[in-house]
Amino acid sequence: MTAAEPGRSYYGRPILKAPVWKPAIAWYFFTGGVAGASSTLAFAAGLAGNRRLARSALLASVAGIVVSGPLLVVDLGRPARFLNMLRVAKPTSPMSVGSWVLAAFAPASVLAAASDLTGLAPRMGRAAAGAAAALGPVVASYTAVLVADTAIPAWHDAHRELPFLFVGSAAASAAGVALVFTPTADAGPARRLAVLGAALELGAFRAMERSLGSAAGPYRDGRAGRLAKAAEACSATGAVLVVLAGQRRPLAAASGALLCAGSLLTRFAVFRAGFESAADPAATIGPQRRLLGGTEAEA
């Protein structure tokens, strides 16, 4: 790199290697978020005596985690690789922590749903539902820590905002699924969660853009930028429609579908931005040069 070419590497090649993840991981970000947030919503609804909402959210949690397993296998190549990650527990590794949390969350969620549907072992079912609800926020957010624990600027430099973005996105999608499958008379808590989740998702994304500065380019331009704009439109429209829908089931279902679409597009926007950021030498060099300049100025 020369002074005349501040944003280029040797031969114009990327400085960082592109992520090795397949698109299935972006889908996993979404389904895992639905599963984690739905389990917490189900438990809260159960405590409030709202059985219809609790059941629909519980089934959404099971569906999300059941779909998440094959998505992980698609990325890993074979199931044995996931089992190999359980051979050790490494608290400093987001992937290790996530693997163990998933290994506990999945059976708890399935057991809670089976007990609710059959009426068998109710005490065990309630305990399993409580365990799944406690692990749900971790399932919904650990993937944000996972992507931030890299050298890719669009991910690493957003390590403060990404967990809030993923949690808000997960809450909005879980509420969206509940709005689609729950009668409107019982969906009041889901409507409130939908508005809260969408507001957190949209606010965290804007805060992330401001925090990243010039490194936010992938979130504004290119394919990731287009996905981000579509996600914002879907989430904002869905949240407004939730407020306007009231007890009208078709509008409530439409708002839920928009919130799910917004959440999915948000995950793909973040996923794609990582690839575009890694391919841009200026995204890596620029922040380092500014940091070096600041250090020299202080000296």
Q: 194, 172 in Cβ contact below 8 A?
A: yes
Q: What is the largest CA-CA distance in the chain?
A: 72
CATH of the domain at 89: 1.20.1630.10
Predicted TM-score of the model (pTM)? 0.86
**Per-residue pLDDT tens over the stretch 108-158:** 999 999 999 999 999 999 999 999 999 999 999 999 998 998 888 889 899
Higher-pLDDT residue of 266 and 218 is 266
Domain assignment of residue 77, yes or no: yes
**187-219 tens-digit pLDDT:** 999 999 999 999 999 999 999 999 988 788 889
How far apart are alpha carbons 239 and 227 in whole angstroms? 18
User: How many domains is the chain partitioned into structurally?
Assistant: 1
9 assigned to some structural domain: no
Question: Per residue in 104-115, pLDDT tens?
Answer: 999 999 999 999
| Rounded (5°) CA angle 76-165-33 | 45
d(CA 183, CA 241): 16
In a domain, 296, yes or no: no
Answer yes or no: is 10 within a domain.
Answer: no
Residue 295 in any domain: the answer is no
Q: Which domain holds residue 228?
A: 18-287
